[in-house]
């Protein structure tokens, strides 16, 4: 089993806050995500600033793109992003247009997607999917369960590199034991910790303990 | 029948281009949309700059929000937006969180939404929906047809104020004759015209001719 990666989600309202956090944990994590909120607040300079600090890290632009895939993908790629997210209800032409302009596309799974759609994404060559517990759903009391893990496993069986995200902390990682998760995405689980660098390292250590 | 409004979509890659275009047509149109591409490129200052130019126009932030609805809505509202778009596959809690922070929410219809979902949106008090021909779908040869018009009519019957968008020009407006469309959204149909101000006025005149 490959060691799952660790991704920090920078879901800040401003570049200052994001830079302060990424400066703490950027060296520890494998992937840096410029979150949707940050993209919408600061624009493409959020991506380009972080690229300039971390020339060799994988950077994700979490645009959750739903349309104009080619333009959005070209823009974030020009700014320095390696991966970009598209929303699962985007059309296949939108995904295909985006795919041409960025290294890898990640389909972000929200709401009522189907395995039939997922197979269409595989058929056009999309390799990554993000299984997402909505922050708002978590706030309203939903949590990770067997239903979620079954879906994650099925997506992996279909050939997806699956990232999981939503309310993750060091203690919830063991829920995924035995599942070949590609990447764990944490936001506040790291950045809201008293010592974010230590929190990121604890994630890494726990991943190594379980999957190493 | 109420006179449908006219909305200019500013889908520019940079603020300079958007300001040049909105400066030409802002006085003619009813609603100014800060498009997704522009939001992602320039961040919230795209909204605040246009708000400063047009203190009394309706401004839409086309975030196509899929998660973290409360934060995204508060941010665009703080920057000066009246309306904000959410993507149809966002969860109900996301939409509810967004609703609290912005004057009106617009659900943007992409992919396989259902009338059952649409009824849920109405049930939580959402009044606006955007029926959207995807730009990428249009590029791949799809166009407006009876199937689309039937859906638009059904949404209006459900009580939605329906905006329509995607490849609209002055000649396609008559396709909607007899339908109580709330708002027509045009982008390149106006901004790519030789004389954008004149193009916007022609849209307004044709709307008045058909619905006036």
- DSSP one-letter string for B78-123: HHT-SEEEEETTS-HHHHHHHHTTSSEEEEEE-SS--HHHHHHHHH
pLDDT band of residue A134 (cuts 50, 70, 90) is: low
Q: Which residues of B touch A135 (CB under 8 A)?
A: 67-68
pLDDT class of A137 with cuts at 50, 70, 90:
low
Across the interface, whether the CB atoms of B136 and A91 are under 8 A apart is answered yes
Question: Nearest 5 degrees, angle CA B131-CA B68-CA A176?
Answer: 110
Instruction: Output the CA–CA distances (angstroms, integers) from residue B5 to A165, B32, B163, B208, B211, in the order listed.
Output: 40, 11, 9, 10, 11
* Distance from C-alpha of A95 to C-alpha of B157, rounded to nearest angstrom: 32
Total residue length of chain B: 212
Residue A165: which H helix or E strand, with range?
strand A161-165
CA distance A208 to chain B (A): 30
Phi, psi angle pair for A164, to nearest 5°: -120, 145
Q: Which H/E stretch holds residue A208?
A: helix A196-211
State the Cα–Cα distance between residues A109 and A131, nearest whole angstrom. 6
3-state SS assignment for residue B170: helix
Chain A residues with CB under 8 Å of B42 CB are: 43-44
Distance from CA of A36 to the nearest CA of B (A): 9
Number of domains in chain A: 1
Which residues lie closer than 8 Å to B56 by C-beta, 6 or more apart?
none
Among B91, B111, B139, select the one facing A134 at the smallest CB separation: B91
Taking residue B6's Cβ as centre, other Cβ atoms within 10 Å add up to 23
Nearest chain A Cα to B134, which residue?
A67
Q: What was the pLDDT predicted at B134?
A: 61
Is 70 exceeded by the pLDDT of residue A58? yes
Mutate to test the interface with A, among B40, B109, B118 (most CBs of A within 10 A): B40
What's the confidence (pLDDT) of residue B64? 96
Q: Is A170 part of the contact surface with chain B (CB cutoff 8 Å)?
A: no
Give the length of chain A.
212
The pLDDT, as a whole number, for residue B112 is 83
**Mean pLDDT score, A185-195:** 93
Q: Is the dihedral of CA A34, A82, A175, A135 positive or negative?
A: positive
Interchain contact, B66 vs A42, CB within 8 Å:
no
Q: How far is B153 from chain A (nearest CA, A)?
A: 22
Helices marked H in chain A — which ranges?
15-25, 36-42, 45-53, 69-79, 92-99, 115-123, 135-139, 146-157, 188-191, 196-211
Contact partners, residue B145, CB within 8 Å, separation at least 6: none
Query: What is the predicted ipTM?
Result: 0.92
The mean pLDDT value for A58-86 works out to: 97
**pLDDT at site B66:** 93
What pLDDT score does B42 carry? Answer: 98
| Inter-chain residue contact B72 with A111, CB threshold 8 Å | no
Chain A, 172-191: which have a CB under 8 Å from a chain B CB? none
Q: What is the 3-state secondary structure (H, E, C) of B119-138?
A: HHHHHCCCCEEEEECCHHHH
The values of phi and psi at residue B51, to 5°, are: -60, -40
Q: Position of tokens 């006179």? A: B3
The distance of A13 to chain B (nearest Cα, Å) reads 8
* Encoded tokens for B202: 């022609």
Structural Rg of chain B based on CA atoms: 16
Token pair of B85 as six digits: 């778009």
State whether residue A72 sits within 8 Å of chain B by CB.
Answer: yes
Nearest Cα neighbor of B129 from B97, B102, B104 is B104
Nearest CB to B91: which of A93, A110, A117? Answer: A110
Tokens of B43: 């961040």
Q: Would you state the structure tokens that stand for residue A26, as one six-digit string?
A: 């950027």
Q: Is the model more confident about A115 or about B142?
A: A115
CATH number at B52 reads 3.20.20.70
Give me chain A's average pLDDT, please: 94
The range of the structural domain enclosing residue A130 comes to: 5-211
* Contact flag A66-B36 (C-beta cutoff 8 Å): yes
Q: Tell whether B170 lies on the interface with A, counting CB pairs under 8 A.
A: no
Measure Cα distances from B73 to A44, A90, A199, B56, B59 in Å. Answer: 19, 21, 30, 20, 13
Secondary structure class of A129 (helix, strand, coil): strand
Distance from CA of B111 to the nearest CA of A (A): 5
- Using the Cβ of B134 and the Cβ atoms of chain A, whether some distance falls under 8 Å is answered with yes
Q: Which residues of chain B fall short of a pLDDT of 70?
A: 134-138, 142
Listed residue (B29, B34, B36) closest to B7, CA to CA: B29
Residue B195 φ/ψ, nearest 5 degrees: -125, 95
Quick one: pLDDT at residue B25? Answer: 96
Tell me what pLDDT residue A167 has. Answer: 83
Flag if A108 and B70 touch (Cβ within 8 Å): no
Residue A1: burial class (beta carbons within 10 Å; 0-12, 13-18, 19+): exposed
pLDDT confidence bin for A132, thresholds 50/70/90: confident
Q: What is the pLDDT of residue A133?
A: 78
pLDDT confidence of residue A156:
98
């Amino acid at each position: 089993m490959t060691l799952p990666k660790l991704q920090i989600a920078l879901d800040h309202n401003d570049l200052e806050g994001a830079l302060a956090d990424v400066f703490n944990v950027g060296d520890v994590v494998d992937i840096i995500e410029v979150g949707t909120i940050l993209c919408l607040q600061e624009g493409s300079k959020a991506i380009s600033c972080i690229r300039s600090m971390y020339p060799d890290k994988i950077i994700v632009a979490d645009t959750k793109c739903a349309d104009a895939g080619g333009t959005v993908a070209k823009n974030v790629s020009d700014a320095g992003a390696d991966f970009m997210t598209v929303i699962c209800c985007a059309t296949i032409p939108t995904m295909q247009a985006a795919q041409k302009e960025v290294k890898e596309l990640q389909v972000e799974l929200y709401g009522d997607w189907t395995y039939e759609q997922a197979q269409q994404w595989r058929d056009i060559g999309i390799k990554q999917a993000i299984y997402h517990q909505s922050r708002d759903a978590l706030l309203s009391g939903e949590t990770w369960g067997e239903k979620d893990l079954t879906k994650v496993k099925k997506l992996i069986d279909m050939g997806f590199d699956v990232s999981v995200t939503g309310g993750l902390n060091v203690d919830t990682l063991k829920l995924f034991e035995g599942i070949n998760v590609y990447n764990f995405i944490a936001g506040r689980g790291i950045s809201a910790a008293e010592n974010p660098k230590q929190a990121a390292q604890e994630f890494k250590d726990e991943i190594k303990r379980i999957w190493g």
